[in-house]
Amino acid sequence: MAKGQRLDPKELTTKSNRLVINMTLMILGSVALGLALGYWILPQQIVSHLDTVTTTALYLLLFGIGIDLGRQKEVWVRLWYMGWQVLLLPALIATGSLAGAAVSGLLLGLPFNESTAIGAGFGWYSLSGILIAEIYNVETGALAFITNVARELLTFILVPLVARYIGRFSAVAPGGATTMDTTLPVVTKATGTDMAVIAFISGSVLSTLVPILVPFLIKLKT
């Protein structure tokens, strides 16, 4: 999920849709540019200092994300009005994602801490990839990044099918944390506008869990 622009579900018009898509393209573009720079241009002395750059930028970014979360009082007010039962949906999505990732990891021969931490990205690829690259190693971080990009892309394809053949609430599940911005339009289109608030809350709760669960799970001893 791009997470650059925070959008209100009501504002999710075609215009902000385009913004989100631009953001996604810019994110993928800057990783591609970085790849090219690292491969062809930058000398090794500079590359060895990049770690300091990513670390500093990561903590500043986390601080900024925290400010955003702290300011989002409307979400918590809405949650209060809808009753705490609304939390059941993101809790199930989180548990199911982790279980699914753990089983997939078993099939692929990945250790439990890696597969579950990657699954705990819930589609927020920029944050989960960087967190794991920073705390654990770059290879697993790259896998987390690609996995969560894939989750977002698969969500766009699968949500209409899930909404139609499986269920309305089930259609909120594939998007994970992304149902608060990038994939919210797809979810509401497939399930109806009354699901917008539920999907938005579910995405917000899952987004809040990412910076907590990913570092916790990757540190688990296997």
Partner 1 sequence: MAPVLIAVALGILVGHFNLLPHNRKITERFTTLCLFVMLLAMGAQLGANEKLLADLGSLGWQALVLAFGSIVGSVLLVRLAESHIAKQLQKSREEGK
Q: Which of 118, 180, 190, 201 binds partner 1 (CB under 8 A)?
A: 118
Least spacing, CB of residue 28 vs partner 1, in Å? 9
* Residue of 8, 11, 51, 74 that binds partner 1 (CB under 8 A): 51
Q: Minimum distance from CB of 101 to partner 1 (Å)?
A: 5
Gap between the Cα atoms of 163 and 172, Å rounded: 8
Residue 67 is a binding residue for partner 1 (CB under 8 A): yes
Place of tokens 């601080």: 63
Determine which residue in the list 9, 151, 186, 205 makes contact with partner 1, applying CB under 8 A: 151
User: Contact at 8 Å (CB) between 196 and 9?
Assistant: yes
| C-alpha span between 5 and 21 (Å, rounded) | 11
Q: Which of 21, 25, 77, 138 binds partner 1 (CB under 8 A)?
A: 138
Cα separations in angstroms, 47 against 56, 88, 145, 146, 162: 15, 45, 20, 22, 44
Tell me if residue 214 falls in helix, strand or coil.
helix
CB of 14 to partner 1, least distance (A): 21
Among 8, 13, 21, 38, binds partner 1 (CB under 8 A): 38
Contact segment (CB under 8 A) with partner 1 among 12-20, 164-172, 180-188 equals 164-172
C-beta neighbour count of 140 within 10 angstroms: 21
